[in-house]
Structure 1
Amino acid sequence: MTSAFLDALGADGPSADRAGKMDLYGRFVGSWDLDVRHFSEDGRERRRAGEWHFGWALEGRAIQDVWIVPPRGELRNRDAAANFNSYGTTLRVYDPDIDAWRIQWTDPVTRTFLQMIGRAEGRDIEQMGTRPDGQLARWSFRDITANSFLWRGEVSADAGATWRVVTEFTARRRKA
């Protein structure tokens, strides 16, 4: 049963009808090891390891990922949300009507659900959305190479005038 579901969800590569547009996130397909840094409002930092897996989905018209902090196999405490544990998925779908990506993040551990719009910003990628508490959320991929990138999660309580970094992931591609 699980195999049939995964076979139906997954794809071998991008759909031809989305031409080069799928490359924005398609370059991340594969597995990544993470050095995760969480920053509290008072500036304290908590560091954890994590893992992130990207794959082609929905006939190659989407990129889906799963990020897991701490990595599978490490002790996951009972009160997952209080311990900054995360085990969620993002579905990224390129929408030709807006020439951008519609993004849905879901983390059942922390009960976090967020919709965003993603676009290239020069050599970087920026995703924007509004959290349930009304704060703006900005997620960005920076310093992107074939084997590494920096992902940053930020929030703004003043309509984008200032931003506070909440989380940073330093990602390194896993060797095959």
Structure 2
Amino acid sequence: MTIRSSVGAAFQADGPAEGVDLRLFGQFAGSWWLDCTDHDPDGSTTTRRGEWHFGYALGGLATTDVWILPGVEHGVSVRFPDPAAGAGVWRSTWVGPGKRRVHTFLAAQVGDGIVLDGGDLRWTFSDIATDTFRWRNEARQPDGDWRLQQTFQVWRQT
């Protein structure tokens, strides 16, 4: 057995493990720039530049990503397919230590996008192309309507 030299080396994987289909989120592997726009309830917005890095993890059984909004938050997700939850369904957990938040989701492809359902929180990847995509964060309101909280316009770093 080989002992890894760091937590990063132990966590990261070079790609999917044999026989594991990680294409749903694996398609984003690499480094991306993002413009994050926060949408306040009063209709005002604030936009900040950040970065998002995707890859494989945990022996190639999962994907992971880290997004960074300097001075605001660092967040990490671990995602993996879970056939027991349904065909094409993934489990996803996001941790944001700056704001002390943890969110869990079930994720699946819906049309040309990916929807992560966390009950009262919904994250959506859309307009997915080789070098760009959009992401949005919506929260369910007490009346059942969804309120847009945040959007990312994302493009691949070259």
TM-score w.r.t. length of structure 1: 0.83
> Which of 127, 131, 152 is the matching residue for 1:147?
131
Instruction: Name the CA shift for 1:67/1:2 in 2 (closer, same or farther; >3 Å).
Output: farther
Gaps of 5+ in 2: none
The match for 1:8 is: 10
TM-score w.r.t. length of structure 2: 0.92
1:171 correspondence with 2:154:
yes
The match for 1:114 is: 103
TM-superposed deviation, 1:111: 0.7
- Structure 2 Cα separation of the partners of residues 87 and 2 of structure 1: 24
The match for 2:141 is: 157
1:31 correspondence with 2:31:
yes
1:94-113 equivalences in 2 (<5 Å): 94-98=81-85, 99=87, 100-113=89-102
1:65 correspondence with 2:65:
yes
1:51-90 equivalences in 2 (<5 Å): 51-70=51-70, 76=71, 85-90=72-77
Could you report, residue by residue, the CA deviation over 1:22-47 in whole angstroms, capped at 9, with x for unpaired residues?
Answer: 10000001000001100111111011
- Structure 1 Cα separation of the partners of residues 36 and 4 of structure 2: 30
The match for 1:126 is: 115
Could you report, residue by residue, the CA deviation over 1:145-172 in whole angstroms, capped at 9, with x for unpaired residues?
Answer: 010000000011247x421110000000
TM-superposed deviation, 1:4: 2.6
Could you report, residue by residue, the CA deviation over 1:76-133 in whole angstroms, capped at 9, with x for unpaired residues?
Answer: 3xxxxxxxx1111011111121231111110110111111110000110000114xxx
TM-superposed deviation, 1:65: 0.7
Q: What is the identity, as a one-letter code, of the residue corresponding to 1:127?
A: L
Gaps of 5+ in 1: 71-75, 77-84, 131-135
Q: What is the identity, as a one-letter code, of the residue corresponding to 2:33?
A: D
- Structure 1 Cα separation of the partners of residues 96 and 36 of structure 2: 16
- Structure 1 Cα separation of the partners of residues 102 and 108 of structure 2: 20
Q: Which has the higher strand share?
A: 2
The match for 2:19 is: 17
- Structure 2 Cα separation of the partners of residues 50 and 105 of structure 1: 17
- Structure 2 Cα separation of the partners of residues 144 and 105 of structure 1: 21
2:66–2:77 contact (8 Å) kept in structure 1? yes
Aligned to 1:146, the other structure's residue is in SS state: coil
Aligned to 1:42, the other structure's residue is in SS state: coil
